[in-house]
């Protein structure tokens, strides 16, 4: 699969054309999220979107071109939903609030416990190297947003100078992804909560420990 850079070969679009194109991408992304990429056919996208197949082909020469745009859309969504929160991270309390928002967003929006990016990665990484690379870049970006917050915590002295923000961020995103997978399979949010709490505890272990809690741990 030759995954092109998004938008590279798009024709100049009218406002209406751009809206139709965006609607096709959103519809495809939703279908792929709920049933998987391979299981989603262009016929299903056309039906769900209310466009003709020739309209779809006008914007996307093939399914691969559509997948490329879905990945780009998911990256934009991740950044627009995660960056405002992660840019505010300066303390453990901020991280706990972020953890809470991850858990509650699923039942608030009534979407399954399933990461839109993680589920794309599991299905695409093994087959399409371009898509794999794009998704690796999305994860790297996500980890960076979190690592920046952890770096601020280290600079302010909340985290130990020896703490490694990049590594802690990788561990957190891994816990989140594994938590999603178990939560979806078990249809139970608890594995996600347990995994995120482990990742938070892992960061907390890098918080300079006050003497009082050491004494308590020694009991």
Binding site for a second copy (CB under 8 A): 34-36, 38-39, 112, 114, 118-119, 121-123, 125-127, 132, 135-136, 139-140, 167, 170-171, 173-179, 181-182, 184-187, 190-192, 194-195, 197-199, 201-202, 205, 209, 211, 214, 217-218
For residue 122 the two structure tokens come to 């599991």
Looking up tokens 């938590």, which residue turns up? 179
Contact partners, residue 180, CB within 8 Å, separation at least 6: 113, 114, 115, 118, 192
CB of 87 to a second copy, least distance (A): 23
Max Cα-Cα span within the chain: 72
The residue length of the chain stands at 219
Which of residues 13 and 193 has its CB atom nearest to a second copy in the complex?
A: 193
Rounded to whole angstroms, how far apart are CA atoms 125 and 133? 8
Nearest to 23 by CA among 79, 75, 73, 68: 73
- Between 18 and 186, CB nearer to a second copy: 186
**Cβ closest to a second copy, residue 46 vs residue 115:** 115
Integer Cα distance of 133 and 146 in angstroms: 20
Cβ distance to a second copy smaller for residue 88 or 133: 133
Closest contact distance (angstroms) between CB of 193 and a second copy is: 10
Nearer CB in complex with a second copy: 20/143? 143
Q: How far is the CB of 95 from a second copy (least distance, A)?
A: 15
Q: Which of 20, 30, 98 is nearest to 60 (CA)?
A: 20
Shortest Cβ distance from residue 11 to a second copy (Å)?
A: 31
CB of 108 to a second copy, least distance (A): 19
């Amino acid at each position: 699969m030759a995954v092109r850079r998004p938008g590279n070969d798009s024709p100049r679009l009218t406002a209406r054309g751009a809206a139709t194109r965006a609607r096709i991408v959103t519809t495809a992304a939703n279908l792929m999220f709920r049933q998987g990429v391979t299981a989603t056919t262009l016929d299903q996208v056309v039906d769900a979107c209310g466009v003709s197949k020739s309209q779809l082909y006008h914007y996307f020469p093939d399914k691969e071109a559509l997948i490329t745009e879905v990945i780009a859309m998911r990256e934009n969504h991740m950044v627009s939903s995660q960056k405002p929160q992660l840019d505010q991270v300066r303390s453990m309390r901020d991280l706990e609030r972020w953890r809470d928002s991850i858990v509650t967003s699923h039942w608030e929006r009534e979407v399954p416990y399933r990461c839109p990016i993680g589920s794309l990665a599991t299905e695409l990484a093994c087959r399409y190297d371009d898509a794999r690379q794009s998704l690796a870049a999305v994860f790297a970006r996500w980890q960076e947003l979190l690592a920046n917050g952890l770096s601020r915590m280290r600079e302010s002295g909340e985290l130990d100078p020896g703490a490694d923000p990049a590594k802690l961020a990788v561990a957190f995103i891994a816990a989140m992804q594994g938590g999603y997978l178990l939560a979806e399979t078990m249809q139970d949010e608890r594995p996600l909560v347990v995994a995120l709490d482990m990742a938070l505890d892992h960061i907390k272990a890098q918080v300079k420990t006050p003497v009082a809690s050491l004494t308590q741990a020694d009991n």
